[in-house]
Structures are given as structure tokens and as C-alpha cells.
Structure 1
Amino acid sequence: MQMRVDRRGSSAVAVIDSEAVLIADVQDALDLMATVRYNEGCDKLLIRKMNVAESFFDLSTRLAGEVLQKYVNYHVKLAIVGNYDGYSSKSLKDFIYECNKGSQVFFLPSEEAALEALHGA
């Protein structure tokens, strides 16, 4: 896993580059959050969809809710970059839509869109 920081003014976003699944359970999500905060001092994080276990996108597993609740509780903003068109679940589409309307968690198609959202949040 490699990490770089995108800075715009006083805003800093840790951008994670990895080919591996980094979030497979709640503990993984907490460990990633702690690593980013400790190593980079960032409370905004950008990862790729491929870095998140596919079970995250099956809302019946509750993994997405549990992970995102931890990030909200610890005031860490998160963007997950990827293509979400392949999912047919209306619940997931509604979940993504609602997240994108807020200022804490974003599911966006490009790194630039995610950085804009995180820096603006």
C-alpha cells in the first residue's frame, strides 16, 4: 500500500494506492483510518472500490453501515472511487445517492471528483 497526500489550502486528503483489498471487515477499516491519521495526520481518505471487499456492497451484510458509522463517529471523511453501474440493488443505489448528498462519505466515479468532494467537505 502506498499513500500520498493531496493538499489544497488547509485541506489534506490521503490518497491510497493499492491493488489489495484493504477493507474486508470493520477492524480493517479502523486500522486503515488509524494508519492514515498516524502517518499523515489526515482525516480525509480516498480509496478505490477494488480496495473494499465486495461484501461491503451487499447491504444485507451490514458491513457498509458498520464501517461508515465508525468513520462518521471518528470524524473521518471517506471517498470510494469506482464504477457502481453494475449493481442492480435499489437499496444500494439509494444508499450511494444519500451518501453523496451529504458531506461525510462519497461514492464517486473519478479521483478528481472525489478530491473535489473531500476538499469541499
Structure 2
Amino acid sequence: MTVQTVNETVVLHLPADGAPIGSGQDALDLVGEAWASGAELVAVPASRLTPAFFDLRSGHAGEFVQKLVNYRMRLAVLGDISAYVAASEALGAFVAESNRGAHVWFLDGPEDLAGRLAMVV
């Protein structure tokens, strides 16, 4: 994990390689790591999230996101999730609604995150 300040926001970036994540416990673990590093936002590569995360019926995305939001930790999922969105209208709506807010974003990559954070500052 690396910590980087992006447009005045401290971001904890998870590496692309590593164990899959997506459970509520995984979210709590990330909150602990973020707090320990002083981060305000956790950037997770989409490739690290379990397929169940992208199946809204599983409840994993809801639980994961809710844990982070409860602890006032923002989330950016970085990477291509177009195949998941194409397979689920509900996921597409969730992504669109999340991207309108300030707590959870689904973005293509770090450059998009920097752009989004520049608009918030």
C-alpha cells in the first residue's frame, strides 16, 4: 500500500496485486489501514474486488461501502468495470448514482481520481 497526497487529499492506494477483497471485514481492515496512515480516501483497483462485489444481489458492495461510509472514509474504485456494468442494469445505476456523490466513485484510473479530487478542493 502506498499513501499519496492528491490535490490536498491523502489517499491510500492499494496495489493491483494481492488477495481479493469485498467483504465488510475487508472494509473495516481498510479503514484501520487508512486511519493508521492518515488517509481520507481509499483507492482500490477494481481487479482486487471479488466478482460478488459487483453482483448487487450478493449484498457485498452494499456492506463494503456502508462500512467505509460509516467511518467517514471515502472510496474510489479504479479500473475498468464495463463488463460488470454491461451485465447489470442495477450496477450501472449504482455506479452512476455513486459518481454523483462525494463518498464513493468508480473511475477509470488515478488520473481520473486526481481530476475528481481537484474539483472537490
TM-score (norm 2): 0.87
User: Structure 1 residues 96-105 or 83-92, which shifts more?
Assistant: 83-92
- Rounded to whole Å, the distance in 1 between the matches of 2:35 and 2:20 is 16
Identity %: 32
In structure 2, the CA distance between the partners of 1:10 and 1:78, relative to structure 1 (3 Å rule), is same
- Rounded to whole Å, the distance in 2 between the matches of 1:44 and 1:17 is 15
- Rounded to whole Å, the distance in 2 between the matches of 1:21 and 1:118 is 27
What is the root-mean-square deviation in Å for CA atoms of aligned residues? 1.7
- Rounded to whole Å, the distance in 2 between the matches of 1:57 and 1:9 is 29
Aligned-residue offset at 1:109? 0.9
3-state SS of paired residue (1:12): strand
Does the Cα contact within 8 Å between 1:30 and 1:70 map onto a contact in 2? yes
How many residue pairs match? The answer is 118
Higher helix share: 2
TM-score (norm 1): 0.87
- Rounded to whole Å, the distance in 2 between the matches of 1:84 and 1:45 is 18
Aligned-residue offset at 1:117? 2.4
- Give structure 1 stretches of 5+ with no counterpart: none
- Rounded to whole Å, the distance in 2 between the matches of 1:10 and 1:111 is 15
